[in-house]
Amino acid sequence: MKRMPILLLLFVLVAFPACSGDGESGGSNATTGDAGTEGAAAPTAVLGGLVVQKVTSDGVTVTLEYLNVEGAAPRGGVVLVHMLGRTRADWEPLTETLISKGLEVVALDMRGHGQSARDGLDYRSFDTEQWLGCAKDIRAALDYLAEQVSGKYFLIGGSIGANLVLIEAADDPRVAGVVLLSPGLDYHGVRPGEYATDYGERPALLVAALDDDYSAKSVGTLAELLYAPETKIYPSGGHGTRLFGTRPEVRKLIADWLEKQFSE
């Protein structure tokens, strides 16, 4: 009879690790940025908005989250595009700021990421053509936004998402301006500088940090290719949407820049 407690203890030690997990399974993928395989599950909200699935022009189903302005007439909207390997959850620090400016928000999980990781698509195996296809995801998100609200539309992206934002904006006259956080001259063959001429004289805000050397240098080069963009280079702060944690003032920078676009 004295052996029973020992057997029970062994059962607990074996069973409990299988149940506890490591924070990267099930629905948690949407917040960690691991594409995983959650595309097979029903998409859920990560920003407190309305979750929508849209089919792109090339037949890919992507997940969007829509947050609307309450208590006042909106002035337009913003599409948010995350970094490589991340998800729309990274934009949580900025969404309230945008809504306070009267802008409705559509945050996107690009194909192969987060809740858009489905149908065998996984960003880890993307070639350049597949990355460029993500611009169609941004177009689908903007199409949805335009169905919800009129006014001025802006695109904001981080890292490769910033590169793709400029590519989409260059081909879409609905876009009134772009904010590029830590863009690069060439991320996985996605080269935004080639689209600067087509973007024309529309406004742009380019942001990077000196400790993110490649992005800081890329901002300098892109600033020469674009028409009179505004730039901000912080002495430190890291890459892309990580700036929201290291440089909280980035939110005010973006908000003030957007406000300026409505006054001009």
Residue 61 confidence (pLDDT) above 80: yes
Grade residue 17 by pLDDT with cuts at 50, 70 and 90.
very low
CB atoms within 10 A of CB 123: 21
In this prediction, residue 264 carries a pLDDT of 81
Model pLDDT for residues 146-160, shown as the tens digit of each residue: 999 999 999 999 999
Rounded Cα–Cα distance for residues 120 and 112 (Å): 8
Sign of CA dihedral 85, 90, 95, 97: negative
Provide the domain count of the chain: 1
Domain that holds residue 108: 4-263
14 or 121: which leads in pLDDT? 121
Distance in angstroms (rounded) separating the CA atoms of residues 92 and 84: 17
Instruction: Output the domain CATH number for residue 208.
Output: 3.40.50.1820
- Tell me what percent of the residues of the chain surpass a pLDDT of 90: 81
Residue 25 scores a pLDDT above 50: no
Which one is predicted more confidently, 118 or 189? 189
pLDDT of 26 higher than 70? no
Predicted local confidence at residue 101, as pLDDT:
93
Per-residue model confidence as pLDDT tens digits over 82-139:
999 999 999 999 999 999 999 999 999 999 999 999 889 999 999 999 999 999 999 9
d(CA 143, CA 138): 9
DSSP label at residue 125:
G
Higher pLDDT, 79 or 21: 79
- How many Å apart are CA 167 and CA 76, to the nearest integer? 21
pLDDT at 73 over 70: yes
Size (the chain), residues = 264
